[in-house]
């Protein structure tokens, strides 16, 4: 999608100016449309026009009258439009005024995420950033524009034309890193247009100018936004600026509650993420005005701060349900630990990523955990210690995800949690790097308890290790027979393809509702005839097409076989990720930043053949 379609640059302003200004001349009507919760109907005149005579004059037959068409309220349209892609949304703005208003409400709610997390070429991304920044700078008041001019920024004439609407008011996701990065790209682009040298572009003067633009846009967002729902103060590497440098330059941001509009736009905050080096004064300000955060994400900082720095924010929350902790927690053992443990007892979703120096006693009161995600690439997989502090007898976990290096010392507790979760467990997604005898034994125990206790499993991905161990395949077969509701099956490691008889039985034993099959590696020595029979057994067993993602060992005949089945319609080749699988299963897809998204998916780290 072109940026011109997404953010309505000035060519489109001219085309839509009359319609938009007509709408703006009736602000009560706009507010009425947004606040509407029921479905409005057509006028009596319109209804009469649509309910034309339904008699067929040639046959004399009178047909049933067409019922009046009912319009969806703007609020309902906004909820629907959130599921549309940007290309479709840009088309919706041309339908009518109500659709236009609803579409731009969604388009402008998170414009920076669209640009920086989209897969755009460098030139395309710069064009989109420039178009976006042009609109926001045009929304500035005259005194702010004069301030930019006084700092040395030359603004083209179109920047002094006010947009037909204040698009900054639609912002709901405020990302400081993305915002600063956009300001930097925009200012440097203007410098290049002016013919400035590389040395001039990288000068302190230009850096100050881009910081000035960032600060004014940030203040405009806070002042005009109706409600900021997500606030990101982490991963500022996108901006090319260290977190503590950026925040130390901006004293206004630290004293957030003093900014005009802050007490109006932040109380509805539902998601907040920050680094350990975020000033505690800012955290204190947020804790005073934000009490409805549902997902709190904290990225620890090795040199500055620790988890205890956000304790005031945790203690002030009434609806906290999802806690994400990443990295070094900075020895947070304080007298407040017991109080905080009580404050987070109702969390339903716990995500830990490579946590170091985290006091796991925090989670002893967490009896309502439904979703547990643990990620740790360190040799000791220390993050998994949390399993020893969760009361397995009281939790009914629905989803378990483990991406770890080492599992041996935590298998007993993991098995206990699986066993006690029983029929509640719907997803088990496990991967570990080490393949030892203890891991083989651990896999067998996990499979045995899944087969005995978890008939409602919908998603299963585990490493199946058959080396010197026939029991693993027997248990795996029992899982396939017991979990008849299974929709997604993922297998890591090439072991099952080493044994011809196991492979063919596996193809015949798949559960009847299976829709997705993931296999990370087909070894090079797997014979063509065996592979053909394997897919043939799958087709005969299920009697339907199945979606498959696999990684053949770059063998021509492997690819040819799977292509033949795909061409026949018996196999659908597609990327099996959360977006495709979770929506089918009916799972909520949790949002994670692009830099972490490689960890939070159904695809394992590559294992050796």
In order, the DSSP letters of 127-150 are HHHHHHHHHHHHTS-HHHHHHHHH
> Average pLDDT over the chain, rounded to whole?
78
Calculate helix-pair angle for 27-35, 97-107, nearest 10 degrees.
Answer: 70
Q: Tens of pLDDT along 240-293?
A: 444 444 555 566 777 888 889 999 999 999 999 988 777 788 888 999 999 999
On whether the CB atoms of residues 255 and 232 are closer than 8 A, the answer is no
**Mean predicted confidence (pLDDT) in 544-553:** 76
- Tell whether the model's pLDDT for residue 109 goes beyond 80: yes
* Residue 257 burial class via C-beta count within 10 angstroms: exposed 0-12, middle 13-18, buried 19 and up: middle
Q: Tens of pLDDT along 315-369?
A: 999 999 999 998 888 766 566 788 999 999 999 999 999 888 888 989 999 999 9
Percent of the chain with pLDDT over 90: 28
On whether the CB atoms of residues 426 and 459 are closer than 8 A, the answer is yes
pLDDT band at 503 (very low <50, low <70, confident <90, very high): confident
8's torsion region: left (phi>0), alpha (psi -120 to 50) or beta?
Answer: left
Please state, in angstroms and rounded to a whole number, the distance separating the CA atoms of residues 21 and 26.
9
On whether the CB atoms of residues 551 and 391 are closer than 8 A, the answer is no
Please state, in angstroms and rounded to a whole number, the distance separating the CA atoms of residues 166 and 428.
47
**Mean predicted confidence (pLDDT) in 51-69:** 52
In 3-state terms, what secondary structure has residue 415?
A: helix
Strand partners, 489: 460, 517
Q: Tens of pLDDT along 215-241?
A: 999 999 999 998 999 998 875 544 444
Which of 89, 182, 204, 86 lies closest to 132 in space, CA to CA?
Answer: 182
Q: Which pTM was predicted?
A: 0.80
Please give the radius of gyration of the chain, using alpha carbons only, rounded to the nearest integer: 28
Please state, in angstroms and rounded to a whole number, the distance separating the CA atoms of residues 93 and 410.
54
**Angle (nearest 5°) at CA 542 between 536 and 548:** 70
Residue 33 CB neighbours (<10 A): 20
Question: SS3 for 427-475, per residue?
Answer: EEEEEECCCCHHHHHHHHHHHHHHHHHCCCCCEEEEECCCCCCHHHHHH
pLDDT at position 51, please?
45
In 3-state terms, what secondary structure has residue 582?
A: helix
pLDDT at position 279, please?
79
**Mean predicted confidence (pLDDT) in 189-194:** 90
- Tell whether the model's pLDDT for residue 29 goes beyond 90: no
Please state, in angstroms and rounded to a whole number, the distance separating the CA atoms of residues 587 and 603.
17
Q: Is 86 or 475 the better-scoring residue by pLDDT? A: 475
Q: Is 147 or 238 the better-scoring residue by pLDDT? A: 147
- Tell whether the model's pLDDT for residue 32 goes beyond 80: no
Q: How far is it between the farthest Cα atoms of the chain?
A: 89
Which of 504, 407, 403 lies closest to 446 in space, CA to CA?
Answer: 407
On whether the CB atoms of residues 304 and 276 are closer than 8 A, the answer is yes
Question: Which range among 39-53, 214-228, 313-327, 486-500 shows the weakest confidence by mean pLDDT?
Answer: 39-53
H helix and E strand count, the chain = 26, 16
């Amino acid at each position: 999608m072109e940026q011109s379609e997404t953010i309505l640059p000035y060519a489109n302003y001219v085309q839509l100016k009359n319609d938009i200004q007509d709408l703006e001349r009736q602000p009560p009507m706009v507010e009425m449309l947004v606040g509407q919760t029921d479905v409005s109907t057509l006028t009596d005149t319109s209804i009469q026009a649509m309910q034309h005579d339904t008699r067929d004059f040639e046959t004399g037959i009178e047909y049933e009258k067409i019922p009046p068409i009912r319009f969806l309220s703007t609020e309902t349209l906004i909820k629907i439009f959130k599921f549309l892609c940007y290309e479709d949304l840009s088309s919706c703005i041309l339908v009518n005024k109500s659709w236009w208003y609803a579409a731009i409400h969604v388009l402008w709610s998170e414009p920076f995420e669209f640009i920086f997390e989209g897969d755009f070429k460098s030139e395309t991304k710069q064009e989109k950033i420039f178009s976006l920044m042009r609109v926001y700078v045009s929304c500035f008041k005259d005194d702010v524009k004069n301030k930019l001019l006084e700092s040395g920024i030359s603004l083209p004439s179109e920047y002094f034309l006010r947009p037909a609407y204040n698009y900054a008011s639609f912002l709901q996701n405020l990302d400081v890193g993305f915002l600063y990065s956009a300001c930097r790209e925009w200012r440097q682009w203007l410098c290049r247009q002016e013919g400035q040298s590389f040395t001039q572009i990288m000068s302190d003067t230009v850096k100050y100018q881009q910081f000035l633009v960032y600060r004014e846009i940030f203040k405009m967002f806070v002042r005009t936004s109706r409600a900021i729902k997500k606030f990101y103060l982490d991963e500022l590497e996108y901006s090319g600026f260290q977190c503590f440098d950026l925040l130390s330059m901006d004293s206004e941001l630290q004293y957030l509650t003093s900014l005009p509009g802050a007490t109006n736009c932040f109380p509805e905050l539902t998601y907040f993420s920050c680094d350990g080096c975020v000033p505690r004064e800012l955290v204190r300000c947020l804790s005073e005005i934000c009490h409805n955060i549902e997902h709190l994400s904290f990225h620890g900082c090795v040199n500055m701060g620790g988890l205890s720095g956000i304790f005031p924010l945790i203690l002030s929350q009434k609806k906290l349900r999802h806690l994400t902790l990443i990295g070094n927690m900075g020895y947070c053992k304080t007298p407040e630990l017991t109080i905080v443990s009580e404050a987070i007892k109702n969390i339903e979703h716990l995500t830990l990523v490579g946590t170091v120096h985290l006091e796991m006693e925090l989670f002893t009161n967490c009896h309502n955990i439904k979703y547990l995600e643990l990620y740790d690439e360190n040799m000791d997989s220390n993050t998994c210690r949390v399993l020893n502090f969760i009361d397995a007898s009281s939790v009914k976990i629905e989803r378990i995800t483990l991406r770890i290096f080492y599992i041996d010392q935590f298998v007993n507790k993991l098995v206990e949690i699986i066993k006690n979760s029983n029929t509640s467990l719907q997803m088990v997604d496990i991967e570990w790097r080490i393949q030892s005898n203890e891991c083989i034994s651990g896999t067998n125990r996990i499979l045995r308890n899944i087969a005995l206790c978890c008939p409602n499993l919908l998603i299963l991905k585990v490493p199946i290790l058959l080396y010197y161990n026939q029991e693993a395949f027997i248990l795996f077969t029992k899982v396939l027979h017991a979990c008849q509701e299974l929709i997604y099956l993922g297998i890591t490691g090439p072991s099952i393809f080493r044994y011809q008889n196991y492979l063919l039985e596996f193809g015949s034993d798949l559960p009847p509702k299976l829709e997705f099959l993931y296999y990370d590696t087909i070894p090079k020595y797997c014979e063509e005839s065996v592979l053909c029979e394997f897919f043939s057994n799958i087709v005969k067993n299920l009697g339907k097409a199945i979606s498959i993602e696999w990684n053949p060992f770059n063998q021509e005949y492997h690819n040819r076989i799977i292509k033949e089945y795909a061409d026949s319609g018996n196999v659908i080749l597609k990327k099996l990720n959360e977006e495709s699988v979770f929506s089918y299963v009916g799972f909520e897809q949790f949002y994670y930043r692009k830099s972490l998204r490689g960890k939070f998916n159904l695809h394992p780290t590559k294992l050796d053949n």
